[in-house]
Amino acid sequence: MSTEQHDAYGEELARISQHQSDAVTARITVVEALTLAGVSPAQANELVSKLEAGAVAGAHTWVSENSPPHGSEQAFEDGWFKGVRAVASQLLEIADTTASQLGRAESNALQLAKIRQRNSRVAQAEASAPAAAAALDVDEVLAVARRCTWACADPDHFFDPDASQEILAVALGAVRDEERADYPPRLATFADRHRQRLEEMLRAFGPGSAPAEYGRYALVGQPESLVICERLDTAPLLLQGMWHGELEDVLLDDLAYAWGSRHRLRR
């Protein structure tokens, strides 16, 4: 591939990535609006899935109606139509799959709604471990996380401050007594040591990626997820114990998978 071709392909990938990122934001907005209007989460997901399948079906129609240049040789026309049929068949399969994915995980917006509804349970968790919250400077920890270049996802994708604080409070609850005094510099060292791994995780699973398209891997790219990844490597079972019953299990499971945790989380 020539330099010119490589640059053109890179521009195409950037545009596709932007469309994917915009689609994630749009999907969250639509599901939130439908939910506020009284539509159930299952119905909202079904409606959005049908719209997405219809968009793919439109691409199928556009591709199927393409014709080779006028006056092309028969062999060229045969190859052209063979390629069109292959692409059209793949698009049809994608449309069918998209329309049938009604039982997939809830969107980021719905997961956040559940987090917000757990205020009383989070308060109980904080009351049961006041020493952990008092010994750690949450703002200092967040400052360390936000300085990391890997956590450079578009801030528009970040959770609202209340949700981030709740997630961070649970993650910091898994920091042991003997680790609290020097935890911020420990976290900075962890980020420096694993910078490439963190950047790869953001590219593969962060906002705008294919795996994140339907609301999965919601924590990837969040500043507080740096603490979660560090705890997955250092105290995975303690983290899971703090997490279970307080936040959505799928949030932790997805981040653990994206991070490639060596420890299997048990339910």
Q: What pLDDT is recorded for position 47? A: 82
Distances (CA, A) of 216 to 107, 108, 138, 163, 230: 7, 7, 26, 17, 20
CB atoms within 10 A of CB 49: 19
CB atoms within 10 A of CB 52: 19
Q: pLDDT tens, 183-222?
A: 999 999 998 899 889 888 888 888 878 887 777 788 888 8
Distance from C-alpha of 12 to C-alpha of 256, rounded to nearest angstrom? 30
The two structure tokens encoding residue 156: 């528009």
Average pLDDT over residues 36-42: 79
CA 240-125-260 angle, 5° bins:
20
Helix (H, G, I), strand (E, B) or coil at 69: coil
pTM value > 0.75: no
Query: What is the dihedral sign for C-alpha 252, 149, 204, 15?
Result: positive
Distances (CA, A) of 8 to 20, 65, 121, 173: 19, 26, 51, 48
Distance from C-alpha of 83 to C-alpha of 65, rounded to nearest angstrom? 12
Residue-averaged pLDDT of the chain: 76
